[in-house]
Amino acid sequence: MLEVEIEMIQEILIEHGYKFIKFLGSGSFSNVFLCESIKYHQQFAVKRAIKHKISEDEYKTLISLNHPNVIQLYDAFEDDESQFLIMEYCQNGTLSKKGRLSYENFIYYAKQILESLHFCHSKNIAHRDIKPDNIFIDQYDHIKLGDFGLSRQFDDKRKSSDKCGSLMLFAPEMFQLTEYCPFTTD
């Protein structure tokens, strides 16, 4: 990131009560930073995207989901160019950084992932980008499903023909030229 850009982000965060700590990473449509609440002295992850890149669906999805295995949204604001989502910070990184898991750890994490997906699906929300990089691990070694940028709400019987997510992890149905159930492909 450019130093000028970081200085601009620092100023915006300060205006909203947060102190910039460091750059954490970037995705296809956003950058993520670590910040600290000036008032509460608690660390959060900040997702920053150009205004049209964080969809209204992602924001609505995050505020509608309250589950121990789904990343929590705490604050949101915008400036002229960008949108900012202040979310729970998972200091133990992502499942992809865990590497090969023992059988016991696989079962432990898989159960939590399935519980988070079951909860999302019970709210008619399909994540549509399940991958190890979007599965975070908090300080207590609990799974937090995150990055709802491609998620959408569907009614129970609605099918989709959207091809979205990470190509290497597409469900087989997505390669066919037919509609598919978005909940099944999760």
**Catalytic residue among 79, 129, 138, 156, which?**
129
Active site (annotated) includes residue 186: no
Burial of 135-161, coded b for 16+ CB within 10 Å and e otherwise, reads: bbbbeeeebbbbbbbbbbebeeeeebe
Is 131:149 a contact under the CB 8 Å cutoff? no
Is 119:64 a contact under the CB 8 Å cutoff? no
| Secondary structure class of 156 (helix, strand, coil) | coil
Q: Where are the beta strands (DSSP E) in the chain?
A: 18-26, 31-37, 43-50, 73-78, 82-88, 125-126, 135-137, 143-145, 152-153
Report d(CA 54, CA 21) in Å as an integer.
Answer: 22
What's the distance, Cα to Cα, between the start and end of the chain in Å?
Answer: 33
Question: Which residues belong to the active site?
Answer: 129
